[in-house]
Amino acid sequence: MSNLPPPPGSPPPPPGSVPSPDDPGAVDAATPVAHRVIGTVMPVLQVDLNPGQSVVSPGGELSWMTSSIQLTTSTSGAGSKGVFGALKRTVAGGGLFLTQYQAEGGPGTISFAAKLPGEIRPVAIAPDREYLVHRHGFLAATSGVNVSIGFQQKLGAGIFGGSGFILQRITGEGTTWIALSGELVEYHLAPGENLRVIPGHVGLFDANMSFEIKMVKGVKNLLFGADSLFLASLTGPGMVWLQTMPISNLAHAIAPYLPQNESSERSTGSSIIGGLLNN
């Protein structure tokens, strides 16, 4: 059972369930570097590195660092080898280039700030604990953690997903930091227990869970009543993290308040529809 209390609104982990991904004991055992998350609504991940220690992150995630941190950017890293491996990671949302941040000549600190209101959580990765993550979820990782495109059951499940998102597969051994939008709600599903979710709300789940995308049934539902044409179906046993504020929902909510002329209004409408299909 997890040492952490479940987030507000989440059912408690059932007796005998596996620990939560951010279980303090598991994270401490898997993480060779000191780290902490500062802040609440717009958190910042701060990682302290001793000489020779390093972390990797997709390009564009860095916020600030001390002078002893050295950068190396390449297409390799996070388990990717060669151009083909980098392209597969890019399709998954991890970016074509990864940057390694290493402390040289003395201890150093590097920080990654959240781009949207939400949460940053450390996740312990082990050979027997792999995860599928929202395509924008991967923030940083220690060496030994691999990031690739994740397919679960059907090809359409990962690529089309009702909302068009692609799932990242996080494997290997070490610690990764996951950034999700809004509040985080955790569910532990028993064997055979099913949860149906608007696809953009899926944040992270155990890689061994059954996952597929199903179209909403019924003509009236499709034309008038359904909030989405597709639902993600997750079946236990396993653990699921849901994010309460998909990026497309935020974009849709603020769009009416943005200044625009008639032509931009048409293009914005198209962009919102496209965004709803690509969250």
Q: 112: part of which helix (H) or strand (E)?
A: strand 108-113
Q: Residues spanned by CATH 3.60.160.10 within the chain?
A: 24-181
Q: How far apart are CA 55 and CA 47, in angstroms?
A: 9
Is CATH 3.40.50.11740 correct for 24-181? no
pLDDT at site 166? 83
Mean pLDDT by 10 residues, the chain (279 residues): 43 68 88 94 97 93 96 67 50 65 97 96 94 93 88 46 68 96 95 93 94 72 58 93 89 84 53 48
Contact 162, 231 (CB under 8 A): yes
Check residue 231 and give its pLDDT.
86
SS3 264: helix
Q: How far apart are the first and last CA of the chain?
A: 32
Q: 230 and 275 in contact (C-beta within 8 Å)?
A: no
* Global confidence as pTM: 0.78
